[in-house]
A and B are shown apart, each in its own frame.
Chain A
Amino acid sequence: MNRKFAIAGGLAVVTALSLAACSGTTSDTETTADGPVTLTLSGWSIDTTPEFQLLADGFEEATGNKVEVVEYDPAEYNTLLTADLGAGAAPDIITQKEVKYVPTLVDGGQLLDVSDIDIPASVSGADSYSVDGVQYGTPYRQDSWVLFYNKDIFDAAGVDYPDGSWTWDDYDAAAAALTTADHYGTYEHRWQSTTQGFANAQFDGDIFSGDYSYMTDLYERRLAREDAGYQIDFATSSANSPTYQGEFGKQHAAMLPMGTWYVATLLSQQASGEADTFNWGFAPIPQVDSSTIDNPVTFGDPTGFGINAAIAPEKVDVAKQFLEYAFSDEAAAKLAAIGITPANTSDAVVDAYFAVDGVPTDDVSKFAWSTHDTRPENPTSNDTAAVQTILGTLHTEILTKAKSIDQAIADAEAAFKAL
């Protein structure tokens, strides 16, 4: 018995070692003195996130230099990228998936100074990549939050569509009128940003001030809506983990505040049958009062690119060219054509976006998409992650009714002081 076991085991080991030797290893990037340069770029979910390959192909067409997309797991993107950076094996172009990690990368000396890249005014979100006045990255995509609504349900309930002038009072009233036994008036997802993003943006809240009393109004409204049954309460939502795509797509709710990235998802899900077929549109998010209607205040974070500080020196110029290309009119139009909201929203880009099959083309949608005062969801600072965690705890405490709004805010302010 021992002999057979040992032989079998030995065979297994030999097989494994040979397989291991045959399995892929990280490929070195090629560099040639003159002639096309190949850059590597960090991306995620390549099959379902076509933007990286789109930009790579477009860049090659425009300049002849190649860009290879290196795939990372989307949920642990930051951890994996960090490990690679630590090991000196990260790609040349570092996609900034979440703004809150930018200061950490800068602090760790991982990003190149790209202040010499000229960013035009039509491109929003550049500030998110500026640390201590130095530019370390450029945006290519800027999502912002809008209000999605199900036109069919509105018609059936006899409620007027949001017309771009709504305040939060209008929103609450609509949620009440739209709720029936079959569906809720609205669905707000569990993320802290669904309430705090608007509070920070519309009430001029500064999360680094240590004073969070400005969040009271929106939380009171949300709790009131949940208690009245106009939207799923947070505890049930946490227990059952409904997806926002499912809630709106299967018509369980008539309204959905969400980021503009959802447009592409909803279109593809309606095409594949995963979501119901119904008429929908999106409008600017409700405002505090009518004073900001011409330039609705909302929030959102850009997605951008940075350059690995350890990049081979001869590739730096091409890398900077790529960053410039990513927010150029040409690239922005291409991104818009696949349903992405680019950072560059000049008129040509707007037309390209609304020419996509299925995107609602009514005026309110166009207005909501192109005209907005988007404040950062995560202001760039070394303390962003710590403060957002404190606020995340506040969010949970209020909505699970573990503490009263005032108590939770007081505790958050105390925790902020202790930082």
Chain B
Amino acid sequence: MTSATADAIGSPPTPLKNRRSKLTLRNTMIGWSFILPNFIGFAIITLIPVITLFYVSLTDYNIFGKGDFIGFGNFEKLVSDPLFGRSVVNTFYYAVMHVPLTIAVSLGLALLLNTKLRGVAFFRTAAFFPYITSIVAIALVWNLLFSPDYGPINEFLRFIGIANPPGWLTSQEWAMPAIVIISTWRDMGYYMILFLAGLQTVPRELYEAARMDGTNALQRFWNVTLPGIRPTMFLVTVLLTIASFKIFDLIIVLSPGGTSAPNQATVVLSQFIYQKGFIESKFGYASAAAVVLFAICLGATVIQFFINKKRSA
């Protein structure tokens, strides 16, 4: 239902085309008047530097802007750079594991804590603490928890019968899964908040009606909750996906060896960009990698955007 339709009822007969374009103009002006305050700041502070980035990716600038225009030379080099390929693979590996896991956990938490029971304030706050804990503390404590020989996690695994538990952060195969777990632990409080807000938009009457229809909890979840929080789900999925593709700080502190040198098992795109740009001063090259990262995020977002549009029709 659009306001155009509402407008059309009972108004004097003016040519459809005129009415439409006049309405469009009015809507455009109104729309822009709302967007403008934010957009001006955004355009100057963010949009312009980002556009600069695209230009720099076509050059071989060092960090001081000294260099030449080389067209797509950087991108050709990226294709044959084994470290870049490794970064892309690791980034996808991380995102594919992290996004569904975090959505499931944070939505579950939100559903669980979407109540007025006593003590729920404590649990909600506790869920948020990982997000505000210092990353130095996070790295150290999780290294301990995941310690292959002495850590409680492997103690527990041995207890339930797994003879050779993984090496987690010290091993090449299990380092990334360990980082995914830690990252989900850190993010779940953050996205729980977004889901909590979204859950408030689902009217209680719908649950009651469904209950009276004889549905169980799972059916209510599928048929009432999920459709009801679709806008929030889109928000969380997009933000989470982009954040996962951009992950940087946890990788740096949790890589096997804990140094900033890229590690085959955990090097991700953001780290590659930082390494090439700030350590090796190959700013043009790093910008090209950033453009690739951008394209990946944009592609994922556009796909999600269209799925969301289709679902909301």
9-residue interface stretch from B5-13, B61-69, B186-194: B61-69
Complex Cα spacing A82 to B63, Å? 8
| A238 proximal to B (CB < 8 A) | yes
A385 touching B170, Cβ below 8 Å:
no
Contact, CB under 8 Å: A107 / B278:
no
Separation of A418 and B144 alpha carbons in the complex (Å): 37
Residues A392 and B82 in contact, CB atoms below 8 Å apart: no
B64, B147, B262, B281 interface centre (most CB from chain A within 10 Å): B281
- Smallest CB gap from B148: residue in A: A235
Indicate which residue in B62, B81, B264 contacts A393 across the interface (CB closer than 8 Å): B264
Tell which of A152-160, A327-335, A337-345, A396-404 binds the partner.
Answer: A396-404
Which of A101, A402, A418 has the most CB atoms of chain B within a 10 A radius of its CB? A402
Question: Any chain B CB within 8 A of the CB of A234?
Answer: yes
Would you list which residues of chain B between 213 and 242 have a CB under 8 Å from chain A? none
Contacts of B81 in A (CB 8 A): 418
A101 to B, closest residue via Cβ = B281
Q: Which of A109, A240, A386 contacts B66 (CB 8 A)?
A: A109
A79 at interface (Cβ–Cβ under 8 A)?
yes
Is B197 close to A, CB under 8 A? no
Say if the beta carbon of B201 comes within 8 Å of chain A. no
Contact B257 A396 (CB under 8 A): yes
Q: Is B208 an interface residue (CB 8 A)?
A: no
User: Quick one: which of B158-214 are within 8 Å of A by CB?
Assistant: 169-172
Q: A393-B262, A418-B82 are in contact. Are A85 and B64 (CB under 8 A)?
A: yes
Given contacts A239-B144, A402-B256, contact A385 B281 (CB under 8 A): yes
Tell me whether B261 and A78 are in contact (CB under 8 A). Answer: no
| CB atoms of A239 and B170 under 8 A apart | yes
B257 touches A104 (CB 8 A): no
Contact A393:B261 (CB < 8 A) given known A86-B64, A104-B281, A386-B280: yes
0/1 interface trace, chain A 223-245, chain B, CB 8 Å (1 if under): 00000000000110011110000
Q: Does B279 contact A (CB under 8 A)?
A: yes
- The CA of A300 and the CA of B172, in the complex, are separated in Å by 32
Give which listed residue, B65, B171, B257, contacts A399 with CB less than 8 A.
Answer: B257
* CA distance in complex: A418, B80 (Å): 9
Known contacts A78-B278, A240-B140, A385-B281; A392/B62 CB under 8 A:
no
A222 interfacial contact with B, CB 8 Å: no
Report whether B281 and A86 are in contact in the complex, using a CB–CB cutoff of 8 Å: no
Task: Find out whether the CB atom of B147 lies under 8 angstroms from the CB atom of A238.
Answer: no
A89 to B145: give the CA distance in the assembly, Å. Answer: 46
Q: Give which listed residue, B64, B169, B171, contacts A239 with CB less than 8 A.
A: B169
Q: Is the interface of B mostly helix, strand, loop or mixed?
A: loop
A395 at the interface (CB under 8 A from B): yes
Q: For the complex, is A108 an interface residue (Cβ under 8 Å from B)?
A: yes
Instruction: Write the chain A residue with the least CB distance to B61.
Output: A108
Partner of A400, one of B140, B147, B257, B278: B257
At the interface, yes or no: B304 with Cβ under 8 Å from chain A?
no
> B277-303: contact bitstring with A at CB < 8 Å (1 yes, 0 no)?
011110000000000000000000000
Smallest CB separation, A415 vs chain B (Å): 7
In the complex the two chains form, what is the Cα distance from A399 to B257 in whole Å?
Answer: 8
A389-B144 Cα distance, complex, nearest whole Å: 27
Among candidates B65, B261, B281, residue contacting A396 with C-beta atoms closer than 8 Å: B261
Q: Does B74 belong to the interface (CB within 8 Å)? A: no
> Is the CB–CB distance between A402 and B262 below 8 Å?
no
Bound-complex Cα distance A190 to B65 (A): 34
Binding site for B on A (CB under 8 A): 78-79, 82, 85-86, 101, 104-105, 107-110, 190-192, 234-235, 238-241, 385-386, 389, 392-393, 395-397, 399-400, 402, 415, 418
A-contacting residues of B (Cβ < 8 Å)? 62-66, 81-83, 139-140, 143-144, 147, 169-172, 255-265, 275, 278-281
20 additional contacts, CB 8 Å, given A389-B280, A396-B255? Answer: A78-B278, A82-B64, A82-B278, A86-B64, A101-B281, A104-B281, A107-B64, A107-B281, A108-B65, A190-B258, A190-B259, A234-B257, A239-B140, A239-B144, A385-B280, A393-B262, A395-B261, A396-B263, A402-B256, A418-B81
16 inter-chain pairs at a CB distance below 8 angstroms, sorted by A residue, are A104-B63, A105-B64, A107-B62, A108-B64, A109-B66, A190-B259, A234-B257, A238-B256, A239-B143, A240-B143, A385-B280, A389-B262, A395-B257, A396-B261, A397-B263, A415-B83
